[in-house]
Amino acid sequence: MADSPEFTPAKNAATSGEFVRDATYINDRVVKGLEPGSDPVGDKIGEMRWPVEAGRYRLMAARACPWASRTIIVRRLMGLEDAISMGLAGPTHDVNSWTFDLDPDGKDPVTGLERLQTAYFNRIPDYPRGITVPALVDLPTKSVVTNAYQKLNFDLVTEWTDFHRDGAPDLYPEAHRDEIDELDSWIYPTINNGVYRSGFAAEQGAYEKAYDELWESMDRLEERLSTRRYLVGDTITAADIRLFTTLVRFDAVYHGHFKAGRNKITEMPALWGYLRDLFQTPGFGDTCDFPQIKEHYYAVHTDVNPTGVVPKGPNLAGLLTPHHREELGGSPFGDGTAPGPIGIESERVPAGHGAQ
C-alpha cells in the first residue's frame, strides 16, 4: 500500500503489535557547488547530488501530512517560493498514490501528473515503497529527486542560501545544532511518531507503552516551555517546526482518533500558549488547513475509523486568542523578519479552513 510517511496501517505492525514505520527514503541531496543545469553527481540512487537551481524543482506536498507541512513551513520562512514551485495533493488517496485532485482536471498544473506515483516510477520503475510526501521533483524529467524530508528541510536551510529572502531566519544555528538534534532524538520517537505508535498499535501492551512514552514526553515539554518561549534559544528553530506540526493536529485528530486522550493541548497551559504563539506567527498557522487534515486521517484510516465519518469539531478559534508568550522574552525571527503575505493564490489556505 502506498502510504504517506505519516501513517502505515496497523496490519504492518511488528509481531509485538507495535507500529513500525518504514523510514527508508530516496536520500539524494540538492547542494551548492554544482553547475546549474548539470546532471546529478554520483552513480547510486540515494547517494546522488543535484545542483541548486531556481526553477528546476517542484515541491510536491499535502497540507494534511505533518511531515510535508514541515517542508511547507520551511520553504515559506526561507522565502523560496520563487525558486521552488509547489504542487499540493489532496487530503485523501487510494492504495496507489497521492493524487492532484484539488487541481483542474485532476492534474498538477506544472507537471501534468495525475498521481505522484508517476514521478516515483519515472525515477525508479516499479518503486516498491510508499509514495510519500514531501517529495522534490526534477521538472525536466518529472522524476523524484528525494523524499527524505529531514535532509530536504536541512538543505532548504543550508544549501539554498543564495535564494533566501532578506531577513530569513536561521532555523538550524550552529551554536544550537547539538541541542536541536538531542531534542529530536526523543521528541520524534515519542511524540511525532509516538501518536502513530499509539493509534496504530495492534495489541494492548504496545499501545500502553506508546501512550505512556508520549505523555511522559509531553509533560517534559510542558515543564520546559513554562520558562522559555521556544524550545531552543530565543528564536524559532527547526525544533519548533518539528513539534508544531504534531501539536497543531493533536486536539483535532490525535486526541481521539489515535487514542492519545489523557488530555488536550488546551488543558496544558505552557504547551497551549506555545502552540498559539507559533500558530499566530507568519509561516505557521497560515499554512494549516484543518478540513484537509481531518479528512485525511478520518477518511483514509479505515482500520481505525471504519465508518469514514469526519468530525465537525473541535472549535479551533482558541488558536487565535492572546498567548502572552512574549513575556518570556525572545522573538520569533531574532534579527530577521517575518515572511510577507502569501503571494501565490493557489498556496493560500481557503477561507474558513484555518482557525476562524
Which residues, 6+ apart, have CB-to-CB distance to 94 below 8 Å?
A: none
Q: Which of 65, 120, 172, 274 is catalytic?
A: 65
196 is an active site residue:
yes
First and final C-alpha spacing in the chain: 35
Identify the DSSP state of 93.
B
127 is an active site residue:
no
Give me 33's grid cell.
Answer: 557547488
Coil, strand, or helix at residue 261?
A: coil
* 15 exposure class (CB count in 10 Å sphere: 0-12, 13-18, 19+): exposed
Nearest CA to 4 among 48, 61, 46?
61
Q: Which of 149, 172, 196, 298 is catalytic?
A: 196
The enclosing H or E element of 85 equals strand 85-88
- Number of H helices and E strands in the chain, helices first, is 10, 6
d(CA 128, CA 72): 26
Look-up of cell digits 545542483? 51
Q: 297-321 burial, b if ≥16 CB within 10 A, otherwise e?
A: bbbbbeebbeeeeeeeeeebeebee
Query: Which residues are identified as catalytic?
Result: 65, 196
